[in-house]
Chains A and B, each alone.
Chain A
Amino acid sequence: MRQFEQVTGEGSSIGLKLFVVLVIGCWVSASMALEPPKGEVLLKISGNIGVSNNGDEAWFDLEMLQALGVSEIRTESPWTEGMAHFKGVRITDVMEAVGAKGKSFEAQALDKYKVDFTGIDYRKYPIIIAWELNGELLTVRTLGPLWVMFPFSDHAEADTLQHRNASIWQLQQLKVN
């Protein structure tokens, strides 16, 4: 009896393990399924990420970014006149979408300007990657097509030099580390 029980127990444990592996595998493959961009690529994410659609990188066009959820920020800034209305996606949503495993990231602009976000808690404020300002899509000439924006007016304490420097325009790449 004793022996039989042991054998039975072993069998059920193997079954459980198999099931878990299968579930995890399905979940991972599902989350890895990121559609390749159809339109113009606006953002390329590389580094320590779990999801990609172009080699090791995850590329996004405007549609893909909009699909991650749209957030808005109304704020004054040193670079805009009056109360500016930005529309974009939260950085936290983007990081989740690419399965970012690192704690922070580095952002680079078209003109090779770089900002290291190490030392900035990007989860603390609803920071967005904006593509629209006052109802108009951003272009390179209007410091687009993507612009990282902080909610300076809603959070007065967020208006620091460090955050201003981190408000990178003409954003092109994110590198998770």
Chain B
Amino acid sequence: MSPVYFFLVWEISNASQRVRTDGAIRLVSFSFKTGRNFDELANSLINYRDSQAIPNSSPVAVSNKDYIEKFDIVWSAFKVGYRNIYRHWADTGYWLDESRAIKAQELSERGLTFLDKYEADMSPDGSLFCNRINEMLSDIYFQKDQLTEFSQSYFELDNRAAQEQQTSMGKLFTYIAVLGVSFLLMTAITIALVYKALKYAVQSLAKSMAAEQQAIDALKDLSESKDANVAQKQFFAAASHDLRQPLHALCLYIGSLQRHVKSDEAEHILKCANMSADSLSALLDSLLDISRLDAGITAVNKDEFEVADLVSRLHDRFLPEVEEKGLKFILYTDDSRVFTDEQLLDRMLQNLISNAVAYTQSGQIDLCCQRASDEVLIIVSDTGHGIPSEEHDVVFDEFYRVAGSARDRDRGLGLGLSIVKRLGDLLEASIALESREDVGTTITIKLPVANKLSLAADTNTTDTEFNPVKLQRGIPDNLRVLVIDDVEDVRESTALLLETKGCVVNAVASAEAATLLCSTKEFEPEVIVSDYRLNGSENGMDAIKSVRSAIGWQVPALLITGDTSINFATRREMVWFVVLYKPVDTRLLCERIALLARVSADS
């Protein structure tokens, strides 16, 4: 771009120079010059005339040829110079002004006439008379005036034209200069802008990279913290074993103490202590459930079963409590089957029912299961306080408790519904809440109905393992129970409790001791009660298995564990096998043992 620009400037500059030189000045200078030549000729003639000092009309000899040379110069100007210059003008196309051409032609012809007129007088040998000189001078002056007038007029004209041309050239120059400068400026600005934009781009790239890095870091932190969270919860879940252990022992001791208490006052105190232990146990259960659910380590073992069985068992279990409060407990069932984790559903319903019992002072509680198209609805309904509608959204949050229920502190931490919610999520069951203040609350759990095709496969084992137990007959007398627990405290308290219930107990600390005891036929247990975690790498399942193989038949067994995180997925491989979680409620323990005793007696 810039070479083109400079070429343009140079070319225009040259052109303007050429026009000025070629045009006005050449013409004008020629005219002036010719005028001056005439002047010189005149002066030369005057000098000649004066130097001769001759009288008028007398011939003089020519001794000075100076005027002849001057005449020749004029002659050459007209005859050669003018013709040539005229031709040059015609060639260059400058001579376009018609009036000027005519005038120049006229002057030229007049000059030629002058030259012809005096040609004869210019002989070196000839003579020149004074009057002839005077005549010549007058002609010369006329010629000179004509030329001067012509050159002056055109000098002005051309000068003006040249001036204008120069002005316009100057303007053109200015425009081009401005154009050039602005172009350069624009280029510079563009470069600057591009540079700046690039710089910004680089900067923002760096920024975005930094941001990305931060995001990655944050994500990493988050996942680490998530990991940490999970680790914490796993720790909590594992620690539950150690938390449950002493509480479990406490419950057992209280249970066995009951027999030795004679006075009413002491019995009252013991009853209070038992209640406190119960509620402590319940609270711990809730907390541990939550922690276990949050830790994401709760295994879901889905299976197909009849909802009515589960619901009836729950009805049986809660009936004493409900009747104690003077409430009616009404059960409706049909024969719907569901495919879900029975144990977890059991826990959901336990929570719902105990909530209903806790918050209902009068009226009734309905427990109902029924099929609605391809869903099974399990409904727990009460006539209790109800939940204000503005709190419907938060009832499933942790530690939510219905306003005004603070006095029922012993009823729980308000974890019940949040456990239900988590279990519901886990089982992919939807939970609907319907509640009106002072009218009551209805909670509906919706579960998908079981696939009929999978029915046949599992029905038999399920039925043989868990027959619906509707009547609690208590533990038969002299039931032989083998207790396996490595912790002496727990082993002794368990033994003590069972003995108070009329059992014949043999308590050992390890699987090895138990196997040894049974293989010698010294003691043939009818029910095995074992702790899950035993010394070293042994566990209760292995202990039960080895005892069973030593005895030679599938002795009904009860496994007690404080470790909520253990997945008893293999449970189904074993028959006559029940799991209880610490701290074990003594009543529940007795119920289970009674159940297992009946199985044992039947087989």
A142 within 8 A of B: yes
Is A79 a contact partner of B80 (Cβ separation < 8 A)? Answer: yes
Is B84 a contact partner of A78 (Cβ separation < 8 A)? Answer: yes
Given A79-B80, A79-B84, does the pair A111, B40 have CB atoms closer than 8 Å?
A: yes
Q: Mark A119-145, 1 if CB is under 8 A from B, else 0.
A: 000000000000000000001111100
Given A110-B69, A111-B36, A111-B40, does the pair A142, B76 have CB atoms closer than 8 Å?
A: yes
Closest beta carbon of chain A to B237's beta carbon, Å = 105
A113 to B, closest residue via Cβ: B33
A79 to B, closest residue via Cβ: B84
B29 to A, closest residue via Cβ: A113
Q: Mark B61-89, 1 if CB is under 8 A from A, else 0.
A: 00000000100110111011100100110
A161 within 8 A of B: yes
A140 to B, closest residue via Cβ: B72
Measured in the bound complex, the distance between the Cα atoms of B76 and A170 in whole Å is 10
B84 to A, closest residue via Cβ: A79
**Which of B18, B21, B76, B87 meets A141, CB within 8 Å?**
B76
B37 within 8 A of A: yes
Is B73 a contact partner of A170 (Cβ separation < 8 A)? Answer: yes
Is A142 a contact partner of B88 (Cβ separation < 8 A)? Answer: no
Closest beta carbon of chain B to A26's beta carbon, Å = 41
Is A140 a contact partner of B76 (Cβ separation < 8 A)? Answer: yes
Measured in the bound complex, the distance between the Cα atoms of B77 and A78 in whole Å is 15
Q: Which residues of B contact A161 (CB under 8 A)?
A: 18, 21-22
Q: Which residues of A contact B22 (CB under 8 A)?
A: 161
Q: Mark B34-57, 1 if CB is under 8 A from A, else 0.
A: 001100100000000000000000
A112 within 8 A of B: yes
8 A Cβ contacts from A77-100 to B: 78-79
A80 to B, closest residue via Cβ: B84
Measured in the bound complex, the distance between the Cα atoms of B73 and A141 in whole Å is 6
Is B87 a contact partner of A78 (Cβ separation < 8 A)? Answer: yes
Is A78 a contact partner of B88 (Cβ separation < 8 A)? Answer: yes
Chain B interface mostly: helix
Q: Which residues of A contact B84 (CB under 8 A)?
A: 78-79
Given A161-B18, A161-B21, does the pair A140, B69 have CB atoms closer than 8 Å?
A: yes
A161 to B, closest residue via Cβ: B21
Most buried by A among B18, B37, B91: B37
Closest beta carbon of chain A to B17's beta carbon, Å = 9
The number of A-B residue pairs with CB atoms under 8 Å apart is 38
Is B37 a contact partner of A111 (Cβ separation < 8 A)? Answer: yes
Measured in the bound complex, the distance between the Cα atoms of B41 and A112 in whole Å is 13
Most buried by B among A111, A113, A141, A169: A111
Measured in the bound complex, the distance between the Cα atoms of B71 and A94 in whole Å is 29
Given A110-B73, A111-B73, A161-B21, does the pair A142, B80 have CB atoms closer than 8 Å?
A: yes
Closest beta carbon of chain B to A76's beta carbon, Å = 13
Is B72 a contact partner of A143 (Cβ separation < 8 A)? Answer: no
Q: Mark A139-175, 1 if CB is under 8 A from B, else 0.
A: 1111100000000000000000100000001100000
Q: Mark B13-24, 1 if CB is under 8 A from A, else 0.
A: 000001001100
Closest beta carbon of chain B to A116's beta carbon, Å = 15
Q: Which residues of A contact B81 (CB under 8 A)?
A: 143
Q: Which residues of B contact A141 (CB under 8 A)?
A: 72, 75-76, 79-80
B17 to A, closest residue via Cβ: A161
Measured in the bound complex, the distance between the Cα atoms of B70 and A170 in whole Å is 11
**Which of B21, B33, B87 meets A111, CB within 8 Å?**
B33
Q: Which residues of A contact B76 (CB under 8 A)?
A: 140-143, 169-170
Closest beta carbon of chain B to A9's beta carbon, Å = 64
Q: Which residues of A contact B91 (CB under 8 A)?
A: 78
Closest beta carbon of chain A to B181's beta carbon, Å = 31
Measured in the bound complex, the distance between the Cα atoms of B37 and A111 in whole Å is 6
Q: Which residues of A contact B21 (CB under 8 A)?
A: 161
Q: Mark B431-468, 1 if CB is under 8 A from A, else 0.
A: 00000000000000000000000000000000000000
Closest beta carbon of chain A to B144's beta carbon, Å = 14
B75 to A, closest residue via Cβ: A141
Closest beta carbon of chain B to A120's beta carbon, Å = 16
Closest beta carbon of chain B to A48's beta carbon, Å = 28
Closest beta carbon of chain A to B251's beta carbon, Å = 125
Measured in the bound complex, the distance between the Cα atoms of B73 and A170 in whole Å is 8
B26 to A, closest residue via Cβ: A165
8 A Cβ contacts from B1-31 to A: 18, 21-22
Closest beta carbon of chain B to A169's beta carbon, Å = 8
Measured in the bound complex, the distance between the Cα atoms of B70 and A110 in whole Å is 8
Closest beta carbon of chain B to A108's beta carbon, Å = 13
Closest beta carbon of chain A to B27's beta carbon, Å = 14
Q: Which residues of A contact B37 (CB under 8 A)?
A: 111
Measured in the bound complex, the distance between the Cα atoms of B88 and A113 in whole Å is 19
A109 to B, closest residue via Cβ: B73
8 A Cβ contacts from A7-33 to B: none
What 9 new A-B contacts, CB under 8 Å, besides A140-B72, A141-B76, A142-B80? A78-B88, A78-B91, A79-B84, A110-B69, A111-B33, A111-B37, A111-B40, A140-B69, A140-B73
Q: List 12 A-B contacts (CB under 8 A).
A: A78-B88, A110-B73, A111-B36, A111-B40, A113-B33, A140-B69, A140-B72, A141-B79, A143-B76, A143-B80, A161-B21, A169-B76
Q: Measuring CB to CB, which residues of chain A are less than 8 angstroms from any residue of chain B?
A: 78-79, 110-113, 139-143, 161, 169-170
For the complex of A and B, the 9 pairs showing the least CB-CB separation, nearest first, are A140-B72, A79-B84, A141-B72, A111-B73, A141-B76, A141-B75, A111-B37, A78-B88, A110-B73
